[in-house]
Amino acid sequence: MNACLVSGGKWVALLGMFAIAGVLLATAGCRSDGAGSKAAKTNALSKGTSGPTAVVAAGDADFEQVVLHSDAPVLVEFYAPWCGHCQQFAPILDDFARETPGAKIVKVNVDQNPGLSARYKIHSLPTLKVFKGGEPVVERVGAASKRELGTLLR
């Protein structure tokens, strides 16, 4: 599974290696220092605007309006800027948003929106949830291909 873990309500980045029986196993992607792909850092989100070519940023203050009151299906990615898997997934999500005019694609930064993280029981990143009619109907933990994202929206 490609996901960064959350523990006890606090975000815990996997800092690179775990020691198991004296053997070090490398983990990929989750960094606490905020370093990551240039593409992910330059990924611009549209705040409060939607369209077939934009990923919309939503938070505690506007989640209800942007996601729960949407007439279109909404794919929400719960992410954090320090999550390497989230950074690697960002270009895929951007492409998917441009190619999927019938749905709304939304990103929620869990560090800036702890209320939403708690409400939707987000324990790993990225977590994808599909909302239809204001209700979460599908959940996936970890990144996905564009094809898999399309399947989630059906």
- Helix 84-99 with 146-153: angle, nearest 10 deg: 70
Residues linked to residue 125 through DSSP beta bridges, in sequence order: 4
pLDDT of residue 29: 44
4 is catalytic: no
Choosing from 14, 75, 86, 108, which is the catalytic residue?
86
Catalytic residue among 4, 55, 66, 83, which?
83
| pLDDT given for residue 5 in this prediction | 60
HSE toward the beta carbon, residue 45, CA cutoff 13 A: 20
Report the domain count for the chain.
1
Q: What is the b/e burial string over 89-120, where b = at least 16 CB atoms within 10 angstroms of the residue's CB?
A: bbeebbebbeebeebbbbbbbbeebeebbeeb
- 107 to 48, 85, 151: CA distances (angstroms): 11, 14, 18
Q: What is this structure's pTM?
A: 0.72
List the chain pLDDT tens, one digit each, 154 residues.
Answer: 556 665 444 433 332 223 222 222 233 344 444 444 333 333 345 544 444 558 999 999 999 999 999 999 999 999 999 999 999 999 999 999 999 999 999 999 999 999 999 999 999 999 999 999 999 999 999 999 999 999 999 8
CATH number, domain with residue 149 = 3.40.30.10
Question: What pLDDT does residue 51 have?
Answer: 43
Q: Confirm whether 30 is a catalytic residue.
A: no
Owning domain of residue 55: 4-153
d(CA 100, CA 104): 8
* Residue 141 pLDDT: 97
